[in-house]
Structure formats: structure tokens, C-alpha cells
């Protein structure tokens, strides 16, 4: 299998370069929208690496969840919240920078020691293509049951929170009653939240 | 508990109804698929305009007496009648006459009221031009007669639906002498003429 | 089941007989199916564009394209050539990189998804374990491209169209995935081959459409919304948004969007045919018929006949669905954006969840009929 190995090495190189390049772009580019789009590149290259590791289901899930949901959400947030803000001078900028550097370096050191310490059981023989979905399911419902259930509870909590945020009628009245700036150009309209609130009351 | 059940039932019923209506709509669309196309391949085929078609207005300069009735009956006083009083002949002398077809709504009032019949409707409808000022026709342009669809060698004239023989729906490939259903104006006239002497004899 | 024709095996064997090494023979083989699939998808798009114009014309009592080739079949080719030679305009204040990347990101995943579309037992590019899941996850890349195109055009209509398109496609992906999940549950596999095989054996009676009467409707609605076909085409609703995210595009970049949308339509129709209409299966079980006539399954001519019939059946089913989509286009009026999201989240999502639960219950209670 000379050909397959060559293809693997070349694709690994391309994917690694792409991942590092796009990750650097995410951090360094001045335009936040460009960073958000490059983040998708990072996710896609990670999923490419998963494919190289014969983890096809994880790769597809990576694309579906991270590119299709998380990144689109980030982009939505950026594009819908178009707030111009001038950066004010922060007090104690040096301390902040130093602490950030310490945290980052600490994380890096932690990961580095983890990589070095872990006894990687490298399997040189290429495994026969197994049904990854089945083995993933087996792991989820046997030895990884607790993290799996915890993660699902976490997601459930997030979902309930999102629903409560989306249902305006559960938010107390004082939040909805905001001061509206009236200029000569605004139409005599009630604010949107109040209108929906009273509409709901009429329906009930 | 029963309230929820009823809600579910109503919901299901509404969805079923929506599906039914979409199905009905689809059957209508499907039915249209097997109908005859009504396309007229325009630059190559043209419909013969009907009688009383209100197309571009034709104007005869020599008949005009510059009375300006057309201007008065026009909803927007569109025709421009440029005349001066000829003191020697004690008559109006018409210099120019023009109608801007970019503004005209082809209502036909001017044709209706013209005392000397110098205005008339043609069957010309292809007035497109690159400049809207070209639509302002002067008396020379207004005096031109349009090219007839039936005489154009490049064009296949097609009869409109109302002018097809009885039971015929396809204007293509009609025999040359085919006439529309019902009596033609000449025939009606002839009948009236034929009926007249009898009445006279009877009286 | 017979294993059908092994094209790859025989091709590599032939090359080896010419004296090439195994690796080289495989390297020559590898790009062939992909190339064939890309060409096939593009030609399929040409056919669909022609069909769309002709059927739309018929539904409106017109004739449609007539002068470009017999019955106007060359009209899509003429359109394509026109778009290739058109000037490629990048607006002055647009973001040139993102503007160029947008259409590419929309088109590439759609073409990649053709990897898993089978036309026969061995007639597909790869039989992946995750099969149909790849299609769902790849189709979730498209909204990124749409957002990119919408943002980079530096145009309000484009931005609104892009946001709408992304919102629409992420909200309709959930019912789509849930209805696919019901099928996957019945066939115990994500692989498209297994999904078709699970429906085989009883001809038209064995197709999933009888076992998933609600699922296929949800799938079709969600697929139409994913393709931005007419009842759900509000990202490019011309009355309100000019052309949505395509407003500033022209020439080849616009052609990519156009191509992408039609390739996506064909792909959705093909996937629908695979999931619900038995893929390459004929209306009657062919192997039983062959047994009944007395022809062995391994007879070469029978295999060739079944393989070509399989391709034809898949295409017929897919194009029938395209026909339905075009009829729907001229029947159903466009929904508003709030109606669209209501339909997605308040109707399709609960119904598809209920469908999934009912399928699971039926699978447990009738394992014979619903795949144990």
C-alpha cells in the first residue's frame, strides 16, 4: 500500500498546514468576519484529520456540529450585532496581558506534558474498516455512559434556557418596558415586546 | 387533558386540510399541462388585430380644420395644434400637428369627436423606440399608414380566438378562406337590404 | 442478492493484464468514478434546467424553449455558454476574497455529496459507513457559503438574503435529519447501499414510502427548503430582495450558484429515491422474475441488464421527483419568512420527532416489517 501511505502523508501535511494557517488567521486578522470564516476552515481541517484517523463518523459530526451549527451561529451573531465601538484605553493593560500570557502558556504546558506523558499505543498496522458508528454507540452506553448522559443533560439545560429566552411572555414586565427614543421620524407605535405581550393576553 | 386532545385533533385536521388544498392546487396545475399552448411566436407570427383595435392614431393633415376639438376631449389635452389666423383668407391656417404617444392612453376620444374624421385608429402597436422623444409624432409621422400584418412576407398572420371558425381552437394551418363563426357585417347589411323592400311592399 | 458487476475489479484486472502494477492500476482507476460522477451531475443539471423550462411552460400553456436544438434541448447549454463569456464583475466595495469563495463553498459540498449516491449494487463512488450522514453534514457547509456571499457583496439585499438562506437551511436541516434518522433506524445502517437493500425483495411493496408515509412528506418539504425551491425560495425572493445573495453576482460566479441549486435539487431527488423509493429497484423484484424464467443470477447478460435497468430506474425516480418539485413551484405560493420558520420549528420538528418515536415503537413491536 505505497500509494495509500503517500496520499495519507501528503494530505496530513496539507491539512496540518491549513489548520495552523487558518487558526493563526482567526487570531491575527483584524476583520472579525474574516476570523469567523477562517474558523470554519480550522474545523474542516480538523475533520479531515479525523478522516485520516479512520474516524469517519466523528469527522462528519465535526462538520455538522461545528461548521454547520456553531460557526453559523457565530457568524449570525457577528452579522446581526453590528455595533461600532471605539476601543477605550483599559486600565492595567500590562497586568491583563501578562495574566493572559501566563494562562495561555500554562495551558500550552499542560497540553504539551499531556502529549509527552501519555503512552501512545501506536498501531502501525492499518486496521480493517470497522463500523465506527456501532463501536461509538457501544462506548457511549458502556464505559462512557456518565459523560454522555451529563453532556445530554447539559444540552437539555441549554435548550430549556434558549426556549425561556425566546418566549418573551415569561420575562418580567420591567425588562420589556424600555424607554423609546421618540424623534419626529418615528411612527407612533408601541415597542415590539409590549405589542406581542398584549397580543398574547388577548388570545388567552 | 381533553383540551389538549382537542387541540391535537384540530391541529391534525388543519394540516390535513392544508394538504388537501395543496393537492387540489396540484391537480389544477397538472390539468393545465395538457392544455394547448397559446403561444404566438411573436416576431415570426403575429395576431391580426381585431376590428376596432385602438392602435397608433392616424392623422390626415389636409382634412384638419384646426378646430381643437381633439384637444378639448383629450383627458390630458395632449394633441398639439399649431395654427395661425390667415387674415387674407379669414381662415385658420394649420402649421403643425403632433401627438406624443409616450403620454397618449389610446382612449380614442379624439377620433370619436373629430368633426372631419381626419383622426382615425390604426392597428399599429409596435411603437418601441430608443428615445422617448421619438414617440412624439408630428403630422408627417402621424400620416404614415402602418404595415399590415397580413401583407408582411416575414410574418405568419394568425387569427385571434374570436375570429376562428366555429369549433376551431388552433389558429395555425387554417384553410385560406376560413371565416369566423356568425355573420359578417356585410352579410348583416345584405339581410337588412333584402328585408327593406318587403317592408315597403307590405306597407 | 447478487453482487452485480464489479467494475473496479474488472478494470484493475484488465490493466494488470496489460502489465501495469497493482498500485498504478488503482491510481488510474481512482479518479475515473469521480470524474464520471461530476460529468453526470452536470449533464443531469442541463437536463433538469431544460425540464424546468419545458414543464413550467406547459403548466402555463406556453411552449418554452424551441429554437435551440430540437425541442430546445440545447437551451441550457446556450445559457451556460452565455454565462461563461459574461463579464465577471466584482463590486467596488465588495470583499473580493470572500466574494469569490462564497459560490465555491456553496457548490463544492453539493458535488461532494454525490459520493454516496448509488445507482446499483456496486455503482457508486464509495460505500461509506456513514453514507447518508455525510450528505447531511456536507449540506450544512452551504449556509457558510451563502453567508459569505451575502456579507461580501456589501449590499443590503444580499446580506438579508444570505442571513435568510442560512436561517432557513439550518432550521430545515433538523426535520430533514430526523426523517432520515427514522429510515436509518429501520435499515440499521447509515450506508445508502444497505438502505436500498433493506427495501428490496418485494418490488414496489417493499419501498420505504409505505412504511414512512409521514416521513417522506417531511423529508420532501425539508429538502425543497434546503434547495430553496419555490415555496421556500425567499432567500432570493425577487419581489422583496431583488435576488437575495445572488444580487451582485454575474458571469461564472452566478453560474456556480445556479449550478449549485440545480445540482442540489437533483441530489435531493436522488436521495429521496434512495431513501423512500427503493433506489435502483424495479417495480417488481427482478431476481425473483429471473428465477421464475429460469435464468441464473450470475448470467452476464442478466447482470448487465439489471445494472442498466438500475441506473435507469434511479434516474426515472429522481426525475419524477424533480417533476413534482416543478409542479409544486407553479402551484404553491411563496411562504413568508415567519411562516417558513413556524412551519419548520412548530410543525415539521414535532411531527418528525413523533414520526421517529412511532417508527422506533413499530420497530420494537413489528420487527419483521420495520427492520429488527
The pLDDT tens digits of the residues spanning C204-223 come to 777 888 888 888 889 999 99
User: A90 vs B128, which has greater pLDDT?
Assistant: B128
Whose CA is closest to A59, among A74, A70, A49? A49
Identify the pLDDT of residue C219: 92
* Mean pLDDT across C132-161: 87
| pLDDT > 70? residue B199 | no
Identify the pLDDT of residue A202: 44
* Mean pLDDT across C349-357: 90
CB-based contacts of A67, cutoff 8 Å, min separation 6: A40, A43, A44, A47, C140, C141, C144
| pLDDT > 70? residue C330 | yes
Identify the pLDDT of residue A187: 57
In this structure, are residues B158 and B47 in contact, taking their beta carbons and an 8 Å threshold?
Answer: yes
* Mean pLDDT across B87-93: 87
| pLDDT > 80? residue C333 | yes
Tell me the Ramachandran region of residue B14: left when phi exceeds 0, alpha when psi lies from -120 to 50, beta otherwise.
Answer: alpha
Identify the pLDDT of residue A199: 47
The beta-carbon neighbor of B35 closest among C61, C63, C327 is: C61
Asked whether the beta carbons of residue C327 and residue B30 sit closer than 8 angstroms, the reply is yes
| pLDDT > 80? residue C91 | yes
* Mean pLDDT across C294-303: 74
ipTM comes to 0.81
Closest-approach residue (CA) in chain C for A71? C144
- If one counts every other C-beta atom within 10 angstroms of the C-beta of residue C212, the result is 22
CA distance C312 to C180: 24
| pLDDT > 80? residue B176 | no
Question: pTM for this structure?
Answer: 0.80
In this structure, are residues C175 and C355 in contact, taking their beta carbons and an 8 Å threshold?
Answer: no
Q: How many residues in chain B?
A: 203
Q: Which of C132-141, C253-262, C293-302 has the lowest mean pLDDT?
A: C293-302
pLDDT tens, C97-129? 888 888 998 899 998 888 888 887 777 777 777
pLDDT tens, C155-181? 888 888 888 888 888 888 889 999 999
CA distance B33 to C59: 5
| pLDDT > 80? residue C286 | no
As to burial, measured by CB atoms within 10 angstroms (0-12 exposed, 13-18 middle, 19+ buried), residue C127 is: middle
The beta-carbon neighbor of B37 closest among C61, C327, C330 is: C61
Counting CB pairs under 8 A, whether chains A and C reach 3 or more, is yes
Largest CA distance in chain C: 71
| pLDDT > 90? residue C12 | no
CB-based contacts of C231, cutoff 8 Å, min separation 6: C224, C328, C329, C332, C333, C334, C335
As to burial, measured by CB atoms within 10 angstroms (0-12 exposed, 13-18 middle, 19+ buried), residue A85 is: exposed
Report DSSP state, residue C341. H
In CATH terms, the fold of domain A1-84 is 1.20.120
Give chain B's mean pLDDT: 87
At CA A106, angle to CA A101 and CA A111, rounded to 5?
130
Identify the pLDDT of residue A163: 83
Query: Is C148 an 8 Å CB contact of chain A?
Result: yes
* Mean pLDDT across C61-75: 85
pLDDT tens, B20-79? 998 999 998 888 888 888 888 888 888 888 888 899 999 998 888 888 899 999 999 999
* Mean pLDDT across C247-266: 88
The beta-carbon neighbor of C331 closest among B15, B22, B36 is: B22
Whose CA is closest to C26, among C12, C38, C13, C14? C12
What whole-number percentage of chain B has pLDDT above 90? 27
Identify the pLDDT of residue B59: 92
> Sign of the CA dihedral B18, B19, B24, B25?
positive
CB-based contacts of C42, cutoff 8 Å, min separation 6: C259, C263
List Cα–Cα distances, A92 to A85, A86, A162, B13, in angstroms. Answer: 20, 18, 36, 65
Report DSSP state, residue B10. H
Which residues in chain A touch residue C98, judged by CB atoms under 8 angstroms apart?
A: 33-34, 37
Closest chain B C-alpha to C222 CA, distance in angstroms? 15
Which positions of chain A have pLDDT values less than 70? Answer: 1, 82-84, 123-130, 168-204
Cα B53 from chain centroid (whole Å): 4
Identify the pLDDT of residue A111: 94
Which residues in chain B touch residue C350, judged by CB atoms under 8 angstroms apart?
A: none
Asked whether the beta carbons of residue C63 and residue B37 sit closer than 8 angstroms, the reply is yes
At CA C264, angle to CA C330 and CA C180, rounded to 5?
95
**Phi then psi dihedrals of residue A73, to 5 deg:** -60, -45
Identify the pLDDT of residue A72: 87
Which residues in chain A touch residue C129, judged by CB atoms under 8 angstroms apart?
A: 56-57, 129, 131-133
Query: Is B25 an 8 Å CB contact of chain C?
Result: yes
* Mean pLDDT across B151-156: 86
Closest chain C C-alpha to B37 CA, distance in angstroms? 4
CB-based contacts of B174, cutoff 8 Å, min separation 6: B159, B164, B165, B168
What whole-number percentage of chain C has pLDDT above 90? 9
- Within chain C, residue ranges assigned H as helices are 7-17, 22-29, 31-59, 75-85, 96-113, 131-139, 142-152, 156-187, 192-199, 208-211, 213-227, 238-241, 251-276, 286-293, 300-329, 337-342, 349-365
Per CB distance under 8 Å, which residues of C are interface residues toward B?
Answer: 55, 57-63, 66, 217, 327-328, 330-332, 347
Whose CA is closest to C263, among C222, C235, C228? C228
Amino acid at each position: 500500500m505505497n500509494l495509500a501511505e503517500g496520499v495519507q502523508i501528503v494530505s496530513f501535511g496539507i491539512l496540518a498546514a491549513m489548520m495552523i494557517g487558518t487558526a493563526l488567521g482567526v487570531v491575527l486578522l483584524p476583520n472579525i468576519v474574516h476570523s469567523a470564516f477562517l474558523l470554519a476552515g480550522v474545523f474542516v481541517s480538523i475533520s479531515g484529520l479525523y478522516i485520516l484517523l479512520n474516524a469517519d463518523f466523528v469527522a462528519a459530526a465535526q462538520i455538522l456540529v461545528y461548521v454547520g451549527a456553531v460557526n453559523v451561529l457565530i457568524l449570525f451573531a457577528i452579522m446581526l450585532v453590528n455595533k461600532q465601538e471605539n476601543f477605550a484605553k483599559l486600565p492595567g493593560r500590562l497586568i491583563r496581558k501578562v495574566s493572559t500570557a501566563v494562562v495561555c502558556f500554562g495551558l500550552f504546558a499542560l497540553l504539551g506534558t499531556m502529549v509527552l506523558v501519555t503512552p501512545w499505543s501506536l498501531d502501525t498496522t492499518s486496521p480493517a474498516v470497522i463500523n465506527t458508528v456501532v463501536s461509538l454507540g457501544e462506548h457511549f452506553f458502556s464505559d462512557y455512559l456518565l459523560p454522555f448522559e451529563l453532556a445530554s443533560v447539559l444540552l437539555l439545560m441549554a435548550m430549556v434556557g434558549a426556549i425561556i429566552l425566546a418566549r418573551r411572555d415569561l420575562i418580567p414586565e420591567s425588562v420589556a418596558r424600555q424607554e423609546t427614543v421618540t424623534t419626529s421620524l418615528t411612527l407612533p407605535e408601541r415597542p415590539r415586546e409590549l405589542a406581542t405581550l398584549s397580543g398574547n393576553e388577548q388570545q388567552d | 387533558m381533553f383540551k389538549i386532545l382537542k387541540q391535537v385533533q384540530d391541529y391534525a385536521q388543519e394540516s390535513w386540510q392544508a394538504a388537501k388544498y395543496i393537492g387540489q392546487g396540484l391537480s389544477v396545475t397538472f390539468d393545465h399541462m395538457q392544455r394547448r399552448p397559446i403561444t404566438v411566436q411573436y416576431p415570426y407570427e403575429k395576431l391580426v388585430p381585431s376590428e376596432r383595435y385602438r392602435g397608433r392614431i392616424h392623422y390626415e393633415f389636409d382634412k384638419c380644420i384646426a378646430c381643437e376639438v381633439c384637444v378639448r376631449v383629450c383627458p390630458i389635452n395632449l394633441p398639439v395644434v399649431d395654427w395661425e389666423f390667415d387674415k387674407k383668407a379669414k381662415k385658420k391656417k394649420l402649421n403643425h400637428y403632433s401627438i406624443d404617444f409616450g403620454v397618449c392612453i389610446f382612449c380614442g376620444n379624439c377620433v370619436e369627436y373629430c368633426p372631419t374624421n381626419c383622426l382615425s385608429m390604426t392597428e399599429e402597436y409596435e411603437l418601441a423606440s430608443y428615445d422617448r422623444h421619438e414617440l412624439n409624432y408630428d403630422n408627417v409621422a402621424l400620416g404614415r399608414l402602418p404595415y399590415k400584418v397580413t401583407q408582411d412576407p416575414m410574418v405568419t398572420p394568425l387569427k385571434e380566438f374570436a375570429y376562428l371558425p366555429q369549433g376551431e381552437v388552433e389558429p395555425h394551418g387554417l384553410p385560406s378562406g376560413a371565416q369566423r363563426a356568425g355573420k359578417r357585417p356585410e352579410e348583416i347589411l345584405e339581410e337588412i337590404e333584402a328585408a327593406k323592400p318587403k317592408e315597403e311592399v307590405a306597407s | 442478492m447478487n453482487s452485480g458487476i464489479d467494475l473496479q475489479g474488472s478494470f484493475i484486472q484488465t490493466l494488470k493484464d496489460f502489465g501495469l502494477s497493482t498500485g498504478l492500476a488503482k491510481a488510474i482507476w481512482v479518479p475515473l468514478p469521480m470524474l464520471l460522477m461530476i460529468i453526470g451531475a452536470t449533464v443531469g443539471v442541463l437536463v433538469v434546467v431544460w425540464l424546468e423550462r419545458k414543464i413550467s411552460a406547459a403548466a402555463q400553456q406556453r411552449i418554452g424553449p424551441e429554437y435551440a436544438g430540437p425541442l430546445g434541448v440545447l437551451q441550457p447549454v446556450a445559457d451556460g455558454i452565455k454565462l461563461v463569456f459574461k463579464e465577471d464583475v466584482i463590486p467596488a466595495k465588495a470583499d473580493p476574497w470572500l466574494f469569490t469563495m462564497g459560490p465555491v463553498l456553496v457548490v463544492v459540498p453539493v458535488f461532494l455529496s454525490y459520493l454516496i449516491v448509488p445507482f446499483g449494487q456496486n455503482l457508486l463512488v464509495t460505500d461509506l459507513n456513514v453514507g447518508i450522514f455525510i450528505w447531511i453534514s456536507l449540506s450544512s457547509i452551504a449556509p457558510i457559503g451563502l453567508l459569505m456571499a451575502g456579507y461580501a457583496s456589501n449590499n443590503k439585499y444580499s446580506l438579508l438574503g444570505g442571513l435568510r438562506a442560512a436561517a432557513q437551511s439550518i432550521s430545515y436541516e433538523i426535520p430533514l435529519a430526523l426523517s432520515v434518522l427514522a429510515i436509518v433506524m429501520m435499515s440499521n445502517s447509515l450506508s445508502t447501499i444497505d438502505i436500498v437493500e433493506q427495501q428490496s425483495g418485494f418490488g414496489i411493496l417493499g419501498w420505504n414510502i409505505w412504511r414512512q408515509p409521514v416521513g417522506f412528506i417531511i423529508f420532501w418539504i425539508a429538502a425543497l427548503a434546503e434547495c430553496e425551491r419555490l415555496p421556500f425560495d425567499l432567500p432570493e425572493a425577487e419581489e422583496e430582495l431583488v435576488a437575495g445573495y445572488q444580487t451582485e453576482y454575474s458571469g461564472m460566479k452566478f453560474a456556480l450558484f445556479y449550478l449549485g441549486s440545480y445540482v442540489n435539487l437533483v441530489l435531493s431527488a436522488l436521495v429521496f429515491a434512495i431513501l423512500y423509493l427503493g433506489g435502483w429497484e424495479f417495480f417488481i423484484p427482478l431476481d425473483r422474475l429471473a428465477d421464475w424464467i429460469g435464468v441464473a443470477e450470475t448470467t452476464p447478460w442478466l447482470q448487465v441488464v439489471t445494472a442498466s435497468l438500475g441506473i435507469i430506474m434511479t434516474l426515472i425516480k429522481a426525475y419524477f421527483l424533480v417533476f413534482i418539485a416543478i409542479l409544486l413551484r407553479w402551484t404553491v405560493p411563496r411562504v413568508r419568512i415567519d411562516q417558513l420558520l413556524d412551519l419548520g420549528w412548530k410543525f415539521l420538528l414535532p411531527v418528525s420527532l413523533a414520526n421517529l418515536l412511532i417508527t422506533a415503537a413499530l420497530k420494537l413491536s413489528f420487527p419483521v416489517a420495520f427492520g429488527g
